Amino acid sequence: MNVGWTQVALAGVWGGLVAVERKAFLQAMFSRPLVAATAMGVLLDDVPSGLFVGLVLELFHLGSANLGASLPDHDTVSATGASASAACMAAATGAGSTPAIWSLSVLLFLGLGRLGREVDRFLERYSARLAKKALASAETGQLTRAMRQNLWGMWPHFVFFGAMTSVCALVGFLLGPLLEQLPLGVLRGLAWAYPAMASVSAAIAARGSHAKRASFYAGLGAGVVILTASLLALREWL
């Protein structure tokens, strides 16, 4: 089995960049799951994997926000990790992107958001200390030093989350050959799991909107998404 180390490195660089963008720089929504995962698909030459993994995770995490001292799950790392894994798994199998691969990647790395939240909490304490030092430096007129201290506060996010994304990409390459050995029934089950996850995610997103008719919109959204995803899954088999 050949591991595409270039893809692993690219995944890590993008995962690190959007983690920094999410927390400390620009904050122009590039770190949203749909955008981050789709861009990952573009970088790894597998747009469908990035798009469809990002779609499910965007809906699942839609409406999450920082409330006071509460930190939400790190939706960005779960999106970059799952999309990198899906793209690399598809490359390793040589069969192209499939709903079974999307489902497996989401199931494997959805929980990465909670790990990312704990890493984020740990790094926030480090960044807060550097921010205080940077403020003190700025107050004494040492602007260059203050800027350097602020930049040092960003680097740990790039390194930690970039490494986590690279590991996910590597796992995708390792799982590719194993996926081909699964029974056809298991692969079909994974393929049908994708529209099920998409419908649940759509319902969660609609209910999270707090609209007056949230339940109706949740059911309608779930129905539309599951129909669309089912048609895509069927087309893969025909």
Which pLDDT score is estimated for 154?
76
pLDDT exceeds cutoff 80 at 219:
no
Average pLDDT of the chain is 81
pLDDT exceeds cutoff 90 at 184:
no
Q: What is the percent of the chain with per-residue pLDDT over 70, rounded to a whole number? A: 70
Average of per-residue pLDDT across 57-84: 79
Which pLDDT score is estimated for 193?
86
**pLDDT-derived band at 59, boundaries 50, 70, 90:** confident
Q: pTM to 2 decimals?
A: 0.80
Domains of the chain, by residue range, sit at: 5-211
Long-range contacts of 156-160 (CB under 8 A, 24+ apart): 156/123, 156/126, 156/127, 157/16, 157/19, 157/20, 157/23, 157/24, 157/120, 157/123, 158/16, 158/17, 158/19, 158/20, 159/16, 160/19, 160/119, 160/123
What is the tens place of the pLDDT at every residue in 25-42?
666 788 899 999 999 999
Which stretch of 39-43, 126-130, 173-177, 232-236 has the lowest confidence by average pLDDT?
A: 232-236
Q: What is the percent of the chain with per-residue pLDDT over 90, rounded to a whole number? A: 39
